[in-house]
Amino acid sequence: MRKIKEVLRLHFESGLGQRPIGRALGLSRTTVGDYLRRATAAGLSWPLPNSLSEQQIYHRLFPPSAMISATGRRVPDWAHIHTELKRDGVTLMLLREEYQSGSDQTYRYSHFCELYRQWAGKQRISMRQIHKAGEKLFVDYAGQSLPIVNPHTGEIHEAQIFVAVLGASNYTFAEATRSQSLSDWLGSHRRALEFFGGVPSIIVPDNLKRAVAKPCRYDPDLNPSYQDLAEHYGAAVIPARVRKPKDKAKAEAGVQVVERWILARLRNRTFFSLAEANAAIGELLQDLNNRPFKKLPGSRRQAFETLDRPALKPLPAQPYVFAQWKKARVNIDYHVEVDGHYYSVPYQLRGRQLDIRITAQCIECFDQRKRVASHLRSFRKGQHSTVAAHMPKAHRDYADWTPQRLIRWASATGPRTAAMTETILASRQHPQQAFRSAMGLIRLGKIYGPQRLEAACDLALEGKATSYKSVKSILSTGLDQQPREQNLPSAETIHHDNIRGGRYYH
């Protein structure tokens, strides 16, 4: 359309002939003459009326073909029929009935279908498939890359170009990413769906590793993170079959268009960051989507607004958060390991292999697609994140005890029991190592009663027998119930030939 306007301007304003105009614009003389004849027939003069859009001017210059064939039958508008077939539920039978209404000079259904197939066969290959509105999004990486120069070191990094194309309208999204890594791959999908403002029913990728973990013609195994993204947006992922390029013809054509109309235009520019490169790509992307089709009326944007946008499903309230997945087996201590940190799961799952979903903020554990545990992510290696509800009852009871709590309990029994508990805890390098002994005192109090335990602890402290076994021995033998004079008999000197005496060691 730009060259047509320039032909009219040079002819009417500058008064140039057809040959000079052709040399100036790189057109043949016959093409220039055809444009001028069409403008005269359409009643257009220079300057062009502001009230007419470019699409209206184009239709006035290039009206549809004659609607009456040589046989006298009315010729259908095949471009309109081809566009209408992309709408949900629209068939050739319905379109033929609409074409037939109000006229007897029409084609029968079988001949109507044959003529449409002939017309479609003459169009470019990418038009041979009928894509329903809002149904499919084709995604791929371009073969070309875009150099990004580090402004500090001068090092050149080749950025990758992600391309996404909607099937019905050919509306295109493109952006540069640092790599083709899983995080970049999924991030590009999120930004593409936000660019389109909705979600298609099906996403069609190639069989690259980030999309398909194990290719198969009939049942490919998707990358878990990619499947997670598809479930979040409510879309299905159907990879193209291996060595079947027609399955992703839209992606191939979209990549070619992006390389020709965007990357080729940027070949002489130098970019120092991804943001700068994507700003330039975004400007050219608008021009690409607004460019008129060659063999169909309108542009990608107009087709998108008419076909795809109304049919796309709405975006979810929250955008997708990148997550990685791994498998981990539950250890005997009912914890799983992620990056050196240990996270608890219900103790009944020990020995089971779980699916672990890892994000920057949290860790989620799944058993047969059912979430069984969730933790805030921790980067402290060798440490544990344990939920009390995941522990067996005996472990929970033990975990609830602390040195302070043990001493508080002992104080409720009596000061001598508290002193014994504190002495036992202080006797070990780590207080936790004495928890069992201190808890043993609790059990003795339940068996013999608090009064006897207090007396036994007093007796043990007086004799410096500060251990659980000493207190238990006193209680089991009943020494705490005997008079104190008998409890601690005075030491008597014993004389015997087999006893060396104290002077032997001097």
Closest by CA position to 491, among listed 476, 503, 502: 502
Domain with 176, as residue range(s), is 136-311
pLDDT (0 to 100) of residue 258: 93
Same domain, 182 and 296: yes
DSSP state of 105: S
Same domain, 221 and 255: yes
d(CA 406, CA 423) in angstroms, rounded, equals 12
Same domain, 6 and 55: yes
**What token pair was written down for 153?**
């070191």
- Whether residue 130 lies inside any domain: the answer is no
CA distances from residue 24 to 4, 8, 21, 28, 58 in whole angstroms, order as listed: 13, 13, 5, 10, 22
d(CA 414, CA 441) in angstroms, rounded, equals 12
DSSP-based three-state secondary structure for 38:
helix
Domain end marker among 311, 343, 360: 311
Find all residues with CB under 8 Å of 83, minimum gap 6, and list them. 296, 303, 307
- Whether residue 316 lies inside any domain: the answer is no
Same domain, 23 and 117: no
Same domain, 350 and 439: no
CATH of the domain at 241: 3.30.420.10
pLDDT (0 to 100) of residue 71: 53
Same domain, 162 and 274: yes
User: What does pLDDT average to in each consecutive run of 10 residues of the chain (506 residues)?
Assistant: 73 78 78 82 76 71 54 72 76 79 71 81 54 89 93 92 93 94 92 95 85 66 85 88 71 89 90 94 94 85 92 92 90 89 92 92 92 92 87 68 76 86 77 69 85 89 86 88 60 55 51
Same domain, 174 and 286: yes
d(CA 385, CA 472) in angstroms, rounded, equals 36
Region for residue 241 given its phi and psi (left: phi exceeds 0; alpha: psi -120 to 50; beta: otherwise): beta
pLDDT (0 to 100) of residue 81: 81
Same domain, 245 and 144: yes
pLDDT (0 to 100) of residue 425: 81
Find all residues with CB under 8 Å of 318, minimum gap 6, and list them. none
Domain end marker among 311, 337, 369: 311
- Whether residue 66 lies inside any domain: the answer is no
- Whether residue 73 lies inside any domain: the answer is no
- Whether residue 436 lies inside any domain: the answer is yes
Domain end marker among 15, 36, 61: 61
Same domain, 106 and 171: no
Same domain, 297 and 175: yes
- Whether residue 265 lies inside any domain: the answer is yes
- Whether residue 496 lies inside any domain: the answer is no
Q: Read out DSSP for 390-451?
A: GS-HHHHHHHT--HHHHHHHHHHH-HHHHHHHHHHHHTSSSGGGGHHHHHHHHHHHHHH-HH
| pTM attached to this predicted model | 0.53
Same domain, 145 and 258: yes
Same domain, 146 and 232: yes
373 has which bridge partners? 365
- Whether residue 473 lies inside any domain: the answer is yes
CA distances from residue 294 to 55, 123, 256, 298 in whole angstroms, order as listed: 12, 10, 16, 9
Number of domains observed in the structure of the chain: 5
pLDDT (0 to 100) of residue 54: 67
CB crowding 245-277: b at 16 or more within 10 Å, else e: eebbbbbbbbbebbbebbbeebeeeebeebeeb
Note whether 278 and 305 are within 8 A (CB).
no
Q: E strands within 136-233?
A: 136-149, 156-166, 172-177, 202-204, 212-214, 221-222
pLDDT (0 to 100) of residue 130: 66
